[in-house]
Amino acid sequence: MDASSGPVIALSGGVGGAKLVLGLYRILPPDTLTVVANTGDDFEHLGLTVCPDLDTLLYTLSGQANPELGWGRADETWTFMAALQRLGGETWFRLGDGDLATHVERTRRLAGGESLSAVIDSFRRRLGIGARLLPMSDDAVRTRLETDRGALDFQDYFVRLRCEPAVRRLHFAGSETARPHPEAIAALAHPALRAVVICPSNPFISIDPILAVPGMRDTLRASKAPVVAVSPIIGGQAVKGPTAKMMAELGLPVDATTVAHRYADFLDVYVADEADADAVAGLDMPVVLGPTLMQTLEGRERLASLVLETADRVRK
Ligand code: FO1
């Protein structure tokens, strides 16, 4: 098999990662792409299992994503939330009416004994998505943060407190005993694998939980395929979300090099933005500069092409 027709794996969180995943999906034969998603943001809310990053990927790849919010569905209605508010229910985490169907059906099927990956695989097929979408593990892993306001569950920190508390430390409860999804490990070890793409997601809350699942990091280190990461930092700032704020709070340099250093043990090449040329100049690894801000569909496809071309060039 020619290297440039082999399978591709992307490790992704929600919003930022999903943009590059969509670019990859649009330029590759759909069945060559496998996406391994962070489930550290998942939680139980109102009796439902909510999986934000998996759902952002499902909605993005099926053309239903809400571009303004960055999560949930486009053209959503909010009757459920309004009714819940009238009853004095919890409304800090907003579940749209259509989105609610995803959580209700997932929760019902999980309670019936199906694995999360089986439920997601069924949803993505029903939604006409040709790429494989895998949770990093079928076992529960939950991101928790130690902050200046005490220990917080991820969604309490992220949504209820709008990322305001200063983060001191993160940990991924359940990761010690979680089993990586076997298809993810098999895909990473595939002899014809073309590339592993680490999407421009927040390294602390989106990619680190995936790497914390036993076996993931070792399999990446041993991968024969090129591992390419795309910087989520552009011009020294995060495009969206708390990445830069967390870097500062954790005592790390607020620039694109911090992300590259976190992945240094398995990374073959780092794709950074042209605006960060000076910051990454001293990095002790191959770096490719390009336009990494994905404001349009074309921008997503262009970055996806650059990432794959880069992988093909550094092929071991
Ligand atoms: N993010 C918010 O900032 N506010 C919300 O009310 C909210 C609701 C929500 C509902 C379903 C879902 O899948 C995601 C939702 N998110 C919301 C995003 C979620 O918190 C993500 O974990 C973060 O965006 C980090 O990826």
Kindly report, residue by residue over 64-99, the tens digit of the pLDDT.
999 989 999 999 999 999 999 999 999 999 999 999
Within 10 angstroms of residue 30's Cβ, the number of other Cβ atoms is: 14
**Among 4-8, 57-61, 299-303, where is mean pLDDT lowest?**
4-8
Ligand 1 pocket, residue 204 CB under 6 Å: no
Ligand 1 pocket, residue 58 CB under 6 Å: no
Q: How confident is the model at residue 4 (pLDDT cuts 50, 70, 90)?
A: confident
Specify the DSSP class assigned to residue 160.
Answer: I
Length of the chain: 316
Tokens of 66: 């809400």
d(CA 67, CA 78): 17
Of 246, 251, 90, the residue nearest 165 (C-alpha): 246
The answer, as to whether pTM is greater than 0.85, is yes
CB of 215 closer than 8 Å to CB of 248 = no
For range 139-143, the mean pLDDT? 98
Atom of ligand 1 nearest to the CA of 102: 13
Task: Please compute, for residue 271, the number of CA atoms within 13 A of its CA located in the half-sphere on the CB side.
Answer: 28
> Ligand 1 centroid to 191 CA: how many Å?
37
Tokens of 270: 């780092």
> Ligand 1 centroid to 15 CA: how many Å?
10
Ligand 1 pocket, residue 93 CB under 6 Å: yes
Return the CATH architecture of domain 3-315.
3-Layer(aba) Sandwich (3.40)
> Ligand 1 centroid to 18 CA: how many Å?
14
Helix (H) or strand (E) holding 132: strand 132-135
Indicate the domain borders of the chain. 3-315
Ligand 1 pocket, residue 96 CB under 6 Å: no
CB of 181 closer than 8 Å to CB of 223 = no
> Ligand 1 centroid to 159 CA: how many Å?
7
Average predicted confidence (pLDDT) for the chain: 96
**pLDDT over 60 (residue 316):** no
For range 144-170, the mean pLDDT? 98
Ligand 1 pocket, residue 209 CB under 6 Å: no
For the chain, report the end-to-end CA distance as a whole number of angstroms. Answer: 15
Tokens of 85: 């508010």
